[in-house]
Each structure stands twice: as C-alpha cells, then as structure tokens.
Amino acid sequence: MRIGKARYLAPAVALVMLTSACGGGDDGNDQADAQAQVEALPAEDLNPAPREGLQKGGTFVWAISAYDGQHNTWHTQGNLANVQRVAGAVLPSPTRYDAEGTASPNTDFVLEYGVSDDGLEVTYELNPDAVWSNGEPITSADYEAQVETVSGSREGDWEIGGTAGYDQVSEFVPGDDEYSFTLKFEEPYSEWPSLFSPLYPKKYMEDEKLFKEGYVKEYPVTAGPFGDVEFDDVTERVTVKKNEDWWGTEPLLDEIVFDAMGTDAMANAFNNGEIDGFYLGYDAAGYELLKGSEGAYFTKAVNHGYRFASLNGASPNLEDVRVRHAISLGMDTDALAEVALGAVDWPITGEVNRMLRSSQHGYQDNSEGYGEYDPERAKELLDEAGWTLKEGDEVRTNEDGEKLSLDWVAADDMAIALDEAEIGRDMLAEIGVEVKVQQVPSNALFSEYVIPGNYEVATYVLVGSNPYAGDAKENYGMPNEDGEWGNNLARTSTEEIEAKFDEMRAETDPDRYAELANEIDRLLWEEVVTIPFFERPGLYVVNEDLHNWGEFGLASSYVYEDIGWAAE
C-alpha cells in the first residue's frame, strides 16, 4: 500500500481452479488492452455518499479472514491486515491520505505538523481535546514512548516487527507544553507522515510485558471514533462500539462487527444477509454467485497490495540464491495470474512491482531474467547449485543424497492458496523439485508457520498501510543486531538492499524516489526474496445501501466515522 509502504499480511480470498486456464495473456493486443484497463481504474471506490444523506445508527457486519489474537500492530504477531482494520477504528493516527496518497494531518489528533526546509526537523502540535478511553490526555509523552520502543532503543526482547522509520529519529525534543514536540533526524526522512500509525498509550510502550500481552484479544485503552472492543472466542467476532466521548465528527454507525470466517464462506454469507461487506478479490465461485445480484455493489479500483510466493531463505534447501532463482523460473506466474484474475474478469498485465502500485509515479516491471517461465534455465541453475537429477529419478538430490523437497504451507479454507500450492507442485515437479503441500488452519498460518519460519514456500498478500515504499524495508531488509528478522518473513536480504532503502527514505525528489524504488525492486528480484504473482484486484462486495466503504487504494484506510447506511 506504499508513493509505496508499511505492509500488513492479508490472506487472500478463495479461488475455484479453472482447469482450462493454463496460460494466456501473451498476445500483444490483449496485453495492451489489459494495461489500458488497469490505467483506467479509479484510485478508489468506496460506494461514496455525503454524510448528509446517511442515517445515524445501525450495525455494519464486516467479514475478515482470521480471528487474530495479537492486536499490537508493532509486535511481530500483530503485523496483519485484519488487525490493522480493527485498530484503525479505535486507535489514534496522526495522518490521513487522500485517494492519490497525499498526506495531511488528522486534526482529531494532530492540529498541525510540518517539516523544516532542510528536512531534518518535523514539528507536531497535538489536539488537546484528544483523550484515551481511561480519561488520560494524549500527550507528547505517548509519542515519545513509541519512538523509543519501536526504534529498538529500549533494552529487552520486545519482538518488534520493524523499526519503520523510528530508527531514523536522532532526538525527540519536547515542546513548550505537553501537546507539542519536534522530531530531529540526522538526514531527511521523506516518509515521516507514516509515523505513529497507530499510536498506543505510553504505558503499553514502556512495559515489555504489556507491549507483548496488553493487546492480546483485548483493547484495554482506546482513542478513536469507536471503542469498547469486545472479543468473542465462540463466534470469532470482534465488535467495536461508537465512542460516546469522541471529540471529532460523530460516527454514523452504532457499531462495527468484524466477523472472522473462511474466505470461501464469505460470498454465501453475504448472499444470505449474514454480512454486509467483504473483500471478494479473486473468489471465482463468489463472483459467479453474486454478480448481477440485486443489492450488491462491486467496487473496482486500484488495490494497495500484491500477491506473491514467499521463499524461506533460512531453509537449507533455499539458502542458495541459485535455487531460489530456479524456483522462480520454474513457476509460470502468468498462468497463476490467469487462473486467479481471469475468473473474476480483472485485467491481467503480467506486471507487478513490490514497491509501487500501478497508480503511482514511476511504476514499472523489473522482472526481466527472473519473472519469466523458463524451466530449462531453472534446470541449469539447479545443476550448478549441486542439485542433480539422476537417470530414472524424479526428484533432484545433492552429493549427500538428500532430496530437494520443499514444504509448501497453505490455509485449509483458502481455495486460492491450496490451488496455488497444487499448481506450483506440478510445475516444480517438471524441474525435479518435490513439493509437499501442507494444509494448515487459517488462524495458524502466520502465527505458527510463516512468522516463526516453519515453512519453505507460502503464498499470501502484502497490503500497504500508507502510500510510501520505504516502510517495506521491514519486509525486505537485513536482520537487527540480535539476528532477528522481524517482519522479513523470507529471512534473506543483502546489505545493498538495506542501503538502497535508507537512500530512498531520505529522498525528497519524486523522480529519484521512484528510480530508487525500482532499483530496490530489481535487487529483490535478483535476491529472489519473493516471487510476485500479480497486483491484487480492488474487488470488494458491499451492500449497496452501505456507503463510504470498499476499495480505498492509496488512501490506505477508511474514515470510519463516515461509514454509514443510506437514509430510508
């Protein structure tokens, strides 16, 4: 989401495999037509309506794909899109972005902010009306505590997912009162508006135990248009209620219910009136069920995420970049994109960029030599890496006789993930690589497998929480001084990638910024940190009477208080 991105892991939605779709998209005219369709997509599609035409009150049941426990987004286990959506309704964030990704202060929390001409100082003037749900004012002390903790400055094992620019702050300078402060940087940090989104109370940033456990299936302290968060382990629902003490624009809804369910179940739940909106994405069966349905509004806009295969570089079988390169060349990503996107009538360009979305300045494809389907070259690379295929064998072995076998984990209630694993298994078998598909519970996919590194291949989506590319450093950068990879779940990178991220985050010229973003994306191809498949489609389905919710693109979040039902 992320110019480019703090990214949050969002498991994608279901796919019914199309056995006839095994390629395509090579025709030049088709490619040009698809590219034109992508370029014509709007920046956002929220089924918009002015607040004046919407009623006060009501409940919005919002389907999400997992019932997550950790709701501290700065913790490695809380770096998830579903968590971000709940947190966005109930916690402070100092910045709002428009559809083009332009930042401005969220005056409910920050009356004014700005950067000095030399880019080395950022000043904040806080809204003195802003208070936590426990009655305490939101002051500079809360912001200072978050800088110290998320920057990695505090002693202890905090299990922080990424420093996300906080490590760029050289000094926190209190202002004339508790509602002002200045951040000083040793070099310009162009992405400073992304900081403090969201903000947690000082108490939960200063105490290591509270940082890790305070927001597990609980929001003990909130400060947003909604609050009073309830977790129901039986129904796997998270309910947030209108904050009656909210000092900003009054929320239209009485409550939002985040209903966790298998992605394959969402379309039927919508069709039965059990939910009011969900991300459809590439759910072919759901698309067929609901298209043309009375009362269903389909969004169509640029999404702030992309789907890919993550390769665990810490695995002995994948630590050699030549093997990862071979896996990339052995997978026909155009065919995978055709299966997924063709099923929901979405333009397929064969292009994707980890740093920039197709609506952003400088977007281009950087995959030459790595993103093509070339099984013969893949076989050569595996031979070079010492994985040979003996006559009569189907699986390559090394000099010790060990098989080149990969564990591919996939959520058991996500048809797209299971189909990708099975298709990928068949593709990689052609180059002598064995794949064992392991179906795991959706709620355990990240917490028990991907995040702790108990996998070799997994497919999922990274979704941006702001329009900048630099926050993706936590997904692709080097480990910290303790050797912890944080949010880099592929567990491989280079010092060159790390340095390029730092250079880009200090760059204020948009042309050079985009150039650096593309240089990073190319380096990621060369390191084969991930194998991008396609930019995620901005297809949501929402009750046509529910407005100001759907695909937000580079805006990166919703204005929760404006979501509401049409007046009867």
Of 259, 279, 286, 105, nearest in space to 197 by CA: 105
Indicate whether 447 and 378 sit together in one domain: yes
Q: Which positions ≥6 away from 304 have C-beta within 8 Å?
A: 1, 2, 5, 357, 463, 464, 467, 552, 553, 554, 556
Task: Decide if pLDDT at 330 tops 80.
Answer: yes
Neighbours of 129 (CB within 10 A): 15
Of 350, 370, 367, 469, nearest in space to 38 by CA: 350
| Local confidence band at 24 (pLDDT 50, 70, 90 cut-offs) | very low
Quote the CA–CA distance of 132 and 201 in Å, as a whole number: 8
Neighbours of 142 (CB within 10 A): 24
In a domain, 27, yes or no: no
- Write out the residue range of the structural domain in which residue 184 sits: 52-223+544-566
Note whether 197 and 166 are within 8 A (CB).
Answer: no
Task: Decide if pLDDT at 26 tops 90.
Answer: no
Predicted local distance difference test score (pLDDT) of residue 233: 97
Q: Of the ranges 31-35, 126-130, 500-504, 507-511, which one carries the lowest mean pLDDT score?
A: 31-35
In a domain, 16, yes or no: no
In a domain, 474, yes or no: yes
Output the CA–CA distances (angstroms, integers) from residue 308 to 11, 12, 371, 443, 510, in the order listed.
11, 10, 12, 19, 27
Task: Decide if pLDDT at 39 tops 90.
Answer: no
Amino acid type, 403 = K
Quote the CA–CA distance of 270 and 295 in Å, as a whole number: 10
Indicate whether 463 and 492 sit together in one domain: yes
Predicted local distance difference test score (pLDDT) of residue 414: 85
- Residues forming beta bridges with residue 255, ordered by sequence position: 59, 241
- Residues forming beta bridges with residue 174, ordered by sequence position: 181
Q: Of the ranges 2-11, 110-119, 234-243, 516-525, which one carries the lowest mean pLDDT score?
A: 2-11
Q: Of the ranges 10-19, 466-475, 512-521, which one carries the lowest mean pLDDT score?
A: 10-19
Q: Return phi, psi of residue 373, to 5°.
A: -90, 110
| Local confidence band at 443 (pLDDT 50, 70, 90 cut-offs) | confident
Indicate whether 479 and 361 sit together in one domain: yes
Neighbours of 319 (CB within 10 A): 13
Give me the chain's average pLDDT, please. Answer: 92
378-417 pLDDT, tens digit per residue, is 999 999 999 999 999 999 999 999 999 999 999 988 888 9
CATH value at residue 56 = 3.90.76.10
Task: Decide if pLDDT at 465 tops 70.
Answer: yes
| Local confidence band at 11 (pLDDT 50, 70, 90 cut-offs) | very low
E strands present in 177-268: 180-185, 226-232, 237-242, 255-260
Q: Return phi, psi of residue 125, to 5°.
A: -120, 115
E strands present in 454-506: 457-464
In a domain, 502, yes or no: yes
| Local confidence band at 28 (pLDDT 50, 70, 90 cut-offs) | low
Q: What is the DSSP string of 180-199?
A: EEEEEESS--TTGGGTTSS-
Stretch 219-230: mean pLDDT, rounded? 98
Indicate whether 135 and 200 sit together in one domain: yes
**Token pair for residue 126?**
């806080």
Stretch 208-237: mean pLDDT, rounded? 98
In a domain, 521, yes or no: yes
Quote the CA–CA distance of 451 and 444 in Å, as a whole number: 10
Task: Decide if pLDDT at 35 tops 90.
Answer: no
CATH value at residue 337 = 3.10.105.10
Predicted local distance difference test score (pLDDT) of residue 472: 92
| Local confidence band at 20 (pLDDT 50, 70, 90 cut-offs) | very low
Quote the CA–CA distance of 258 and 82 in Å, as a whole number: 9
Quote the CA–CA distance of 74 and 215 in Å, as a whole number: 11
Quote the CA–CA distance of 518 and 71 in Å, as a whole number: 32
| Local confidence band at 85 (pLDDT 50, 70, 90 cut-offs) | very high
Predicted local distance difference test score (pLDDT) of residue 13: 30
Predicted local distance difference test score (pLDDT) of residue 2: 22
In a domain, 531, yes or no: yes
Indicate whether 486 and 560 sit together in one domain: no
Note whether 404 and 415 are within 8 A (CB).
Answer: no
């380096």: which residue's tokens?
523
Task: Decide if pLDDT at 360 tops 50.
Answer: yes
206-222 pLDDT, tens digit per residue, is 999 999 999 999 999 99
**Token pair for residue 352?**
């994707």
In a domain, 391, yes or no: yes
Indicate whether 504 and 397 sit together in one domain: yes
Task: Decide if pLDDT at 66 tops 80.
Answer: yes
Neighbours of 342 (CB within 10 A): 18
Note whether 197 and 93 are within 8 A (CB).
Answer: yes
Task: Decide if pLDDT at 4 tops 50.
Answer: no
155-171 pLDDT, tens digit per residue, is 988 999 888 789 999 99
DSSP 8-state code for residue 364: -
Indicate whether 358 and 428 sit together in one domain: yes
Indicate whether 340 and 198 sit together in one domain: no
Indicate whether 116 and 143 sit together in one domain: yes
Predicted local distance difference test score (pLDDT) of residue 535: 94
In a domain, 34, yes or no: no
DSSP reduced 3-state for 89: helix
Please report how the helices 375-384 and 321-329 are oriented relative to each other, as an axis angle in degrees rounded to 10.
Answer: 160
Predicted local distance difference test score (pLDDT) of residue 16: 27
Counted domains in the chain: 2
Stretch 473-497: mean pLDDT, rounded? 93
Note whether 354 and 521 are within 8 A (CB).
Answer: yes
Stretch 64-84: mean pLDDT, rounded? 95
Instruction: Kindly report the pTM of this predicted structure.
Output: 0.90
Indicate whether 453 and 510 sit together in one domain: yes
Indicate whether 494 and 550 sit together in one domain: no
Quote the CA–CA distance of 435 and 128 in Å, as a whole number: 57
Amino acid type, 264 = D
DSSP 8-state code for residue 44: -
Indicate whether 556 and 466 sit together in one domain: no
Quote the CA–CA distance of 477 and 365 in Å, as a whole number: 21
| Local confidence band at 5 (pLDDT 50, 70, 90 cut-offs) | very low
| Local confidence band at 27 (pLDDT 50, 70, 90 cut-offs) | low
Task: Decide if pLDDT at 23 tops 50.
Answer: no
Stretch 108-116: mean pLDDT, rounded? 97
